[in-house]
Amino acid sequence: MIDFELEPELAKGVSAARQFAEEQLRPISRYYDEHEHENPDELIDRMWELRRENIFSLGLDPAAGLRTEELCWGDAGLYLCIPGPALGGAAVFSSGTKEQIGKFLGNFNEGRPKWGAMAMTEPHAGSDTAAISTTAVRDGDEWVLNGEKIFVTMGKRALEDSDGFVVVWATVDKSAGRAGMKSFVVPAGTPGMRVEKMEKKLGIRASDTVTIVFDDCRIPFDHILGSPEVKKTDKAGTKGFKGAMATFDATRPIVAAQALGIGRAALDFVKEELERQGITIRYGVPRQSLTALERDIMDMEASYKAAKLLTLRALWMMSQLQPNSLESSMAKTKAGLAITKITQKAVEIMGPLGYSRKYLLEKWMRDGKINDIFEGTGQINMLVTARRVLNYSREQLK
Amino acid sequence: MIMSMVREFAGDEIRKVYRECDESGEIPGGLVDTAWSMGLVSGSIPEEFGGGGGDRSLITGSLIGEELAWGDLSIAMHVLCPALFAYPVLEMGTETQKKELLPMFCCDTFRPASAALIEPRFGFNPYALSTNARSDGDDYVLNGDKCYVPLAADAELILVYAQQGDGVQGFVVERGTSGLKIGEREKNMGIKALATYELSLKDCRVPKYSRLGGQEGCDFGRVLNCSRVALSAMAVGVARAAFEYSRDYAKERVAFGEPIASRQAIAFMLAEMAIEIDATRLMTWEAAWKLDRGEDATREASLVKAYADDMALMVTDRAVQILGGHGYVREHPVELWLRNGRGFYAFDGMAIV
């Protein structure tokens, strides 16, 4: 049966997230935009206290998407500061053994706030993840990592501010290409790993984005996620790389949900302002009699809704354990496009109110842009969607 | 179950003849009867009036509308045309109206009936019609002009929407009522197989009991919303047909040594087409779901209709573009889908599920 209603228990979590966003995130949103790299310690402690409540819990179902949307409606940068295993956790979950999941995530909820991060991008390898040059060389019971990772979201908090970990993608055999790509868990405090540069960004400034350098960094052999074997015969892609892609199938709709939160924040702002001015949007009236403003608002609303329903569908399929690679890349592609369009249009419509830092709208335009970039740029997502729509391999559609 | 029947009908029966229908402007009666025998409309009429007694569901209706329109839009609108009359009566008619008017839609043969909403003027607004109904003794007197009335020439009954004070009401007008004049068959850019007509109403008198819903009148907003959901579902069907055809073509057509689908310029167009088709379908279902729960869905229905209008044009135009010169000739169906897909901007209240 086709149904668009959330079970009451799940709906409660969504409204709790909404309340938290309104009361705890919005009031400090501007402060942490203007004080980049400052730690919202109090907020982090509060979020840590509430970690067992159904507000911040990760999850891969429509309710998790809706909670994410609400929190990012509050502030997308602060949302990323929520203590937890985050992307690193998703990687461990999708490619780790039972023992590894227990070892790295088992006591994540204990003690002080902790973060997990994922390190993929390198200075010379962005969307082309197979071109990474960080190496992992086996030496007895250990792996030795060397290389540099950039744009690691929440890397500082995971590795310097807490006893978290980072999942690092490295190659064990360069000649094997994709087949040689493996992921490794590196816990905070491992010698030979250091956090270097903190990026200054266009938006989501409350979150940290860092460079991590590995200099003969040694980790135990069993910190490799998935099999250490390199299967060169398996040309199309191997388990290791597929692990990364499986992670993306899970995380892309969540990133899309983040975009939705920012988009709705912008939409709500515009609609409230119009209401204050006594301007009503006449739904149902034929197009030719609408004002340009009404058309814009309706376009924004419809593309928000389109992105939202695609996102919820991808999450729903995941919760039903159905393969969703096509649907999750569709959701991310649409959400990235929609958010960019919605926030930019909102700034345009509001004129001086849109451009002024007195209001949050300009910030949302800056924040929103990240959703068209991280977890795959809009173009890469379009490429992935196209391959899946056409049932083409990467060789058939480059 | 009904869906696999409809899918088969669209794939096997409609797709066999639709091009010929577009060229000739005629839809074979046998095809219409076959569609009718599936009970697409009568299925949700209560048993006491002779129907199948199933629930009326806009979700199911959306699925059927998409599938039929995937087959062909003209044929879809033709076979579902009686619903334009039957569903508003079913939902909003008085007991007497239901008893009198619904049984004719429960017999084995297709009985043409229709509804007249659109008016032939710039700035047409369904909430503020020029056609009006004046009360005069025991009658209402209707005056005004209508267009895009499907099957009007054959329809035994037409539900005419007219302004009455602040609101819009529906009036049952029988064929042959004096003052009702059915014009020439219209010639349109698309939906060429569907016979549509202009109507003029000059002091056309109907008895008071023929107002839909009697004293209480009808919920015209809901009629319009149901229609917008139906048209959005059909837009998805037309777009999906064009998408599938151009996708398959792009994978076969070789240029510069490889299929054109392996170029991003083509592949990205197809990816976006797929995304927008799915998004529109989900929005259609959401609005349908709300209407099925009896809630007001004016916002959802009008948003999805506007979105579907744009989507249908974008997708069908790109399908023509992907086929290039071959898309422009009538040997391939994509030009037909572009002409049909372009119509949704102008269609309002021309289909209902």
Q: In this structure, which amino acid lies at residue A7?
A: E
**What residues form DSSP beta bridges with B139?**
B136, B207
Domain A8-84, what architecture?
A: Orthogonal Bundle (1.10)
Chain B contacts of A390, Cβ < 8 Å? 247, 250-251, 261, 267, 270
Report yes or no: A375 and A248 within 8 Å, Cβ to Cβ.
Answer: yes
Handedness of CA B332, B336, B337, B342 (dihedral sign): positive
Q: Structure tokens of B140?
A: 């209402």
Choose among B122, B286, B301: nearest Cβ to A4. B286
Other CB atoms within 10 A of residue B332 CB: 18
Spans of all domains in chain A? 8-84, 88-234, 240-390
Shortest Cα–Cα distance, A298 to chain B (Å): 7
The tokens describing B201, both together, are 């109403």
B125, B285, B298: residue with CB nearest A286: B125
Residues of A in contact with B315 (CB under 8 A): none
Query: From CA A297, how far away is CA A275, in angstroms rounded?
Result: 13
Cβ-based contacts under 8 A for chains A and B: 110
Contact between B193 and B31 under an 8 Å Cβ cutoff? The reply is no
Evaluate whether B9 touches B38 at the Cβ level (below 8 Å): yes
User: What value does the mean pLDDT of chain B take?
Assistant: 96
pLDDT tens-digit series, residues B107-119: 889 999 999 999 9
Task: Name which of B273, B256, B250, B270 is nearest B323 in CA terms.
Answer: B250
Q: Are B283 and A301 an interchain contact pair (Cβ–Cβ within 8 Å)? A: no
At residue B310, φ and ψ (nearest 5 deg) are -65, -45
- Residue pointed to by tokens 């009867």: B33
What pLDDT sits at residue A232?
62
Of A306, A385, A398, the CB nearest to B283: A306
pTM of the model: 0.94
* Strand blocks (E) in chain B: 113-116, 132-136, 139-150, 157-164, 167-174, 180-185, 196-207, 254-255, 258-259
Close Cβ partners of B16 (under 8 Å, ≥ 6 residues apart): none
Residues of A in contact with B306 (CB under 8 A): 287, 298, 302
For residue B185, the SS3 value is strand
Inspect the interface and report whether the beta carbons of A389 and B271 lie closer than 8 Å.
yes
Contact (Cβ atoms closer than 8 angstroms) between residue B69 and residue B238: yes
Q: Please give the pLDDT value at position B255.
A: 95
Out of A122, A199, A375, A395, the active site residue is A375
Q: Residues of B with CB below 8 A from A307's CB? A: 279
Nearest CB to A298 within list B290, B303, B345: B303
Q: How far apart are CA B287 and CA A242, in angstroms?
A: 38
Cβ contact, residue pair B267, A390, below 8 Å: yes
Contact A301 B303 (CB under 8 A): yes
Cβ <8 Å between B272 and A298:
no
Structure token digits, residue A234? 């398996």
Distance in angstroms (rounded) separating the CA atoms of residues B34 and B54: 20
Phi, psi (degrees; rounded to nearest 5) at A106 = -55, -50
For the cut 60, the answer to whether the pLDDT of residue B129 exceeds it is yes
Q: Which residue of B has its CA nearest to A1?
A: B59
Among the listed residues B163, B159, B254, the one whose alpha carbon sits nearest the alpha carbon of residue B212: B159
The residues pairing with B114 across neighbouring beta strands, listed in sequence order, are: B158
User: Checking DSSP bridges between strand A142-153 and strand A193-198, what pairing results, if any?
Assistant: unpaired
Q: Give the per-residue pLDDT at A260.
A: 98
pLDDT of residue A233: 56
Other beta carbons within 10 angstroms of residue B74's beta carbon come to 27
Contact B279 A390 (CB under 8 A): no
Give A276→chain B minimum CA distance, Å.
Answer: 20
Q: What is the pLDDT of residue A164?
A: 96
Reported as a single tens digit per residue, the pLDDT across B244-298 is 999 999 999 999 999 999 999 999 999 999 999 999 999 999 999 999 999 999 9
Find chain B residues with C-beta within 8 A of A341's C-beta. none
Query: How near does any CA of chain B get to the CA of A335, in Å?
Result: 11
Indicate whether B15 pLDDT > 90: yes
Which of A3, A4, A383 to mutate against chain B (most B CBs within 10 Å)?
Answer: A4
Average pLDDT over residues B149-177: 97
In chain A, DSSP assigns E strands to 116-119, 135-139, 142-153, 165-171, 181-187, 193-198, 209-220, 224-225
The residue of chain B with its CA nearest to that of A334 is: B275
Chain B CB contacts of A333 below 8 Å:
271, 275
Q: Is B164 helix (H, G, I), strand (E, B) or coil?
A: strand
Chain A residues with CB-CB distance to B275 below 8 A: 310, 330, 333-334, 385
Question: Taking CA atoms, what residue in B is nearest to A306?
Answer: B279
- A283:B272 CB<8 A: no
Distances (CA, A) of B211 to A169, B1, B159, B172: 72, 37, 9, 6
Q: Which residues pair with A170 in a beta bridge?
A: A182
CB contact under 8 A, B268 and A382: yes
Among the partner residues B247, B279, B306, nearest to A390 by beta-carbon distance: B247
Closest CA to B72 of B352, B346, B353, B333: B333
3-state SS of A122-150?
Answer: ECCECCCHHHCCCEEEEECCEEEEEEEEE
Q: What letters, b where the CB count within 10 A reaches 16 and e where it falls short, cover A351-383? A: eebbeeeebbbbbbbbbbbbbbbbbbbbebbbb
Superfamily for the A88-234 domain: Butyryl-CoA Dehydrogenase, subunit A, domain 2 (2.40.110.10)
- Residues A3, B304: C-beta atoms closer than 8 Å: no
Same CATH topology for A88-234 and A240-390? no
Nearest CA-CA partner of B73 in B191, B187, B185, B231? B191
Tens of pLDDT, residues B303-334: 999 999 999 999 999 999 999 999 999 999 99
Q: Is B232 helix (H, G, I), strand (E, B) or coil?
A: helix
**DSSP 8-state code for residue B53:** -
How far apart, in whole angstroms, are the C-alpha atoms of residue B186 and residue B193?
A: 11
- Kindly determine whether residue A390 and residue B261, on different chains, have CB atoms separated by under 8 Å: yes
3-class DSSP assignment, residue A333: helix
Tell me whether residues A397 and B267 touch, CB distance under 8 A.
yes
Q: What is the nearest CA distance from A41 to chain B, expressed in angstroms?
A: 40
Q: What are B344's two structure tokens?
A: 């949704």
Per-residue pLDDT, A241:
66
Q: List chain B residues with CB under 8 Å of A309.
A: 279, 282-283, 286
CB distance A94 to A245 below 8 Å: no
**Which of B244, B258, B275, B298 to probe the A interface (max A CBs under 10 A)?**
B275
pLDDT in tens, chain A (398 residues): 688 988 888 899 999 999 999 999 999 999 999 999 999 999 999 999 998 888 887 778 899 999 999 999 999 999 999 999 988 998 898 888 999 999 999 989 899 999 999 999 999 988 888 889 999 999 999 999 999 999 999 999 999 999 999 999 999 998 888 889 999 999 999 999 999 999 999 999 999 999 999 999 999 999 999 888 887 655 444 556 666 677 778 889 999 999 999 999 999 999 999 999 999 999 988 888 899 999 999 999 999 999 999 999 999 999 898 999 999 999 999 999 999 999 999 999 999 999 999 999 999 999 999 999 988 899 999 999 999 999 999 999 99
Q: Among this protein's residues, is A375 annotated catalytic? A: yes
Give pLDDT tens digits for B83-109.
Answer: 999 999 999 999 999 999 999 999 889
Structural domains of chain B in order of their starting residue, each with its CATH number: 2-106 (1.10.540.10), 113-210 (2.40.110.10), 220-345 (1.20.140.10)
Give the Cα separation of B219 and B213 in Å (integer).
9
Dist. CA B242–CA B203, nearest whole Å: 45
Separation of alpha carbons B288 and B294, rounded Å? 10
Q: Which CATH superfamily is domain A240-390 in?
A: Butyryl-CoA Dehydrogenase, subunit A, domain 3 (1.20.140.10)
Could B298 and A283 be called an inter-chain contact, meaning their C-beta atoms sit closer than 8 Å?
Answer: yes
CA atoms within 13 A on the CB side of B285: 19
Q: Please tell me the distance from the alpha carbon of residue B218 to that of residue A28, in angstroms, as a whole number.
A: 51
CB under 8 Å to B251, separation ≥6 — which residues?
A: A390, B259, B261
Cβ contact, residue pair B282, A313, below 8 Å: yes
